[in-house]
Amino acid sequence: MTNPKADLLQGTLDMLILKALSFGPLHGYGIIQRLRVMSDEMLHVEQGALYPALYRIEMKGWVKGKWGENETGRRAKFYKVTKAGEKQLQIEEESWDRLALVIAKMREAT
């Protein structure tokens, strides 16, 4: 589902999508672009693989999709983070920070 270069855990992709959307509503293509920018081109998500993950978090009620038009007038579905999604993002970021902290400390110890 994801590029082996960055074999992301499923939950991680969910968090990244939420993060990308936390700056404002985007359609799927836009999410991919933003992820690319946010990760300084280091993260390369196979584009189609975005959708199962996107739908999964939509089914969880963290984001909500709505048909609209993009800047060139093309019909596209725009996703927006819901309240529950914001809360989830916060929870995940905190746990990531903790994990990162722990790993950092352990690396210092060696």
Binders of another protein among residues 56 to 75 (CB under 8 A) are: 56, 58-61, 70, 72, 74-75
Q: Is 9 in the site for another protein (CB under 8 A)?
A: no
Rounded CA gap, 27 and 14, in Å?
15
Interface region with another protein, contact rule CB under 8 A, candidates 7-15, 21-29, 88-96, 97-105: 21-29
Burial environment of residue 4 by CB neighbours within 10 A (0 to 12, 13 to 18, 19 or more): exposed
* Nearest distance in Å: CB 97, another protein: 26
Whole-number Å distance between alpha carbons of 94 and 82: 18
Three-state DSSP class for 85? helix
Q: Which residues bind another protein (CB under 8 A)?
A: 1, 27-29, 32, 46-49, 51-52, 55-56, 58-61, 70, 72, 74-77, 84
